[in-house]
Structure 1
Amino acid sequence: MKAVRIHEFGGVEVLQLEEIEHPVPQADEILIKVYASGVNPVDWVIREGGNDFLKPILKLPLTLGWDAAGIVETVGAAVTTFKKGDEVYGVPNFPGNGSYAEFVAAKANQFALKPKNISFNEAAGVPLAAMVAWTGNFELGKLKIGQRIFIRGASGGVGSFAVQFAKAKGAYVIASASTSNIEFLQQLGADEVIDYKTQAFEDLLRDIDVVFDASPLRDEGERLKNVQVLKDGGVLVSVNIDFPFSDEVKAALDAKHATGELVGGKGTFVAAEYLKEIANLIDEGNVKVIISKIFPLEQVAEAHRESESWHVRGKLIIEVRKEQ
């Protein structure tokens, strides 16, 4: 089968399209015929060698890609949740061998039945970003109906899901983005949108219940501004697990009796449970999957270059095979 693998860390030149053996599922795994894989910033972070959090657990050679949508080909002896022919989506083996491949074997509990009303390409844009957004909003942020959440980096893959999930659950959503993305975020349901190029959110906001920072910025001053707008007892959630909270930020949080959380910092995602609920929201029309561009497997380097620009609205997709 074809797969995009790396044998060393580096730039896009280390991405190699190869012929490798089909994976064989273990007893608790399913073998998936992959139709599409999403592209996430973590893909090229790992391609470059990872960060302090990931480096100790990366092993080469490695097949990249941790968003998969496809059809179950075979099931392991202990699997009772799926059968051959089921259409599924999920996060296979992070950060092990992933879904830039024609087939992937992964634990069944990392997958759920894909939303019925969307294509494989759209479904592949959901799992990892959506679970980060879900975990940030609800598991760590404890967001409740009627509360106010401020989402930074709201037009990207994680942020656009965070906006929609928060709105679907009855929160008041304030988002920040560049001028060109204001209307886009309003269409996703944001109640207010702050243009970070012309407006200083720290001068406009106070007493926010949850700040969800999905921005790629790793900046101490920006973190302190996030804390500044929190209410007493609020929650700051950041997606930048490789940028721990400093003593100064911790002190600012303590002064507000607030909590700071890093998505991914407390074990693994409850993949199947979250993916089922997310699929229901998509099928009910409460959440849209925003696709920016679709690339064939052979153009994975171009997809990585696009992702590295940090100017992607929604998700980039690798189409492994055409949907019939």
Structure 2
Amino acid sequence: MKAIVSTKYGPPDVLELTEVEKPLPMDNQVLVKVHASSVNYGNLVLLRGEPFLARIAFGLFKPKFSIPGGDIAGVVEAVGKDVTQFQPGDEVFGDLSGVGWGGFAEYSCVPEKALALKPANLSFGEAAAVPMAGVTALQSLRDKGKIQSGQKVLIHGASGGVGTFAVQIAKSLGAEVTGVCSSRNVDILQSLGVDHVIDYKKEKFTENKQRYDIILGVNGGHPLSTYRQSLTPNGIFVHVGGSGAQMFQAMTQGFWISKTSGQKIGSFLQRANQNDLVVLKELIEAGKVKPVIDRTYTLNEVPEAFRYFEEGHTQGKVVITI
């Protein structure tokens, strides 16, 4: 089968399209013919081995997982003898980031716990955009942010992969949502039903004197003090994917702020979870959430897809068709 392979850390040029042996499912695994995948921040960490601490999980000197790709959508081709949830012909989607990656390939063997039935109203490309970014948005709002209906939520970096899902999930949970984005992305957020849009090229979110119960820092570089000014006295700031300096502040200063004030500050890392894939499937089939696709690339164009993703201006998700 054809697959994208990485044998060393580095820029997108280290990724090679090559022929590898088609895998065979073990007893608890599902063999999926992959139709599509997508690009996430975690893929970028695995590609470059940065930040360096990530190499503890990914391999110190070279990638432990030679075939990258976390999100997949495809069709079950075969199942191991212990698999009970799926059968050949099922259309599925899932997150491989916790089970060895391997999504940038024509076939992948996946533990059944990493998969769920694909939303019936999505194409394979659309479904592949959902797992990592959608679960990140869901878990950061529900589990870390403790979101409640009627709360005011600010999403900084609302037009990217995680941000577009976060806007819709927060709305589906009854929140009043403000999205921060650049001028070119205002229309996208309005089409997703956001209540208020702040164009950061024209105004600062701190200038409106509004206080928010939850702030999601999906793509921001402000110091924690800036976000705290816009939090309610008992508000929660969740660092999801901002700058490295912001992440360090959230992990260090955030602990003490959370202990000594009513405000809560913390970082969040998504955990692949089958039940949350099912939650997203239900939201999507109910018409409450939809993936936003920026660009689509073919398997042999994966290096180009990474170069575009690294520019940091994606509108929604970058999808790989296989």
* 1:261 and 2:266 aligned: yes
For 1:195, the equivalent position in structure 2 comes to 199
Distance 1:254 1:227, change over 3 A: farther
For 1:310, the equivalent position in structure 2 comes to 312
Asked if the contact 2:99–2:111 (Cα under 8 Å) also holds between the matched residues in 1, the reply is: no
In structure 2, how many angstroms separate the alpha carbons of the residues matched to 1:240 and 1:262?
A: 9
* 1:237 and 2:238 aligned: yes
Distance 1:205 1:251, change over 3 A: farther
For 2:302, the equivalent position in structure 1 comes to 300
Q: Which is worse superposed, 225-234 or 106-115? A: 225-234
Kindly provide the amino acid, as one letter, of the partner of residue 127 in structure 1: P
For 2:106, the equivalent position in structure 1 comes to 102
Structure 1 residue 273: Cα displacement: 0.6
Partner residue of 2:287 out of 281, 285, 288: 285
For 2:225, the equivalent position in structure 1 comes to 224
Distance 1:297 1:247, change over 3 A: closer
Structure 1 residue 229: Cα displacement: 1.1
* 1:125 and 2:129 aligned: yes
Structure 1 residue 181: Cα displacement: 1.1
Structure 1 residue 247: Cα displacement: 4.5
* 1:78 and 2:79 aligned: no
Structure 1 residue 254: Cα displacement: 4.5
User: Where in structure 1 do 4 or more consecutive aligned residues deviate above 6 Å?
Assistant: none
Structure 1 residue 43: Cα displacement: 1.3
For 2:40, the equivalent position in structure 1 comes to 40
TM-score by length of 2: 0.92
- For the residue of structure 2 that corresponds to 1:161, the secondary structure is helix
Equivalent residue pairs, number: 314
In structure 2, how many angstroms separate the alpha carbons of the residues matched to 1:110 and 1:262?
A: 24
Kindly provide the amino acid, as one letter, of the partner of residue 321 in structure 2: E
Paired-residue identity, %: 35
For 1:63, the equivalent position in structure 2 comes to 67
For residues 182-215 of structure 1, the C-alpha deviation after alignment (integer angstroms, 9 at most, x for no partner) is 1211111110111111211112144311111110
Q: CA RMSD in A?
A: 1.8
In structure 2, how many angstroms separate the alpha carbons of the residues matched to 1:236 and 1:249?
A: 9
Q: Which is worse superposed, 292-301 or 38-47? A: 38-47
Structure 1 residue 157: Cα displacement: 0.3
For residues 41-61 of structure 1, the C-alpha deviation after alignment (integer angstroms, 9 at most, x for no partner) is 221221111324421111435
TM-score by length of 1: 0.92
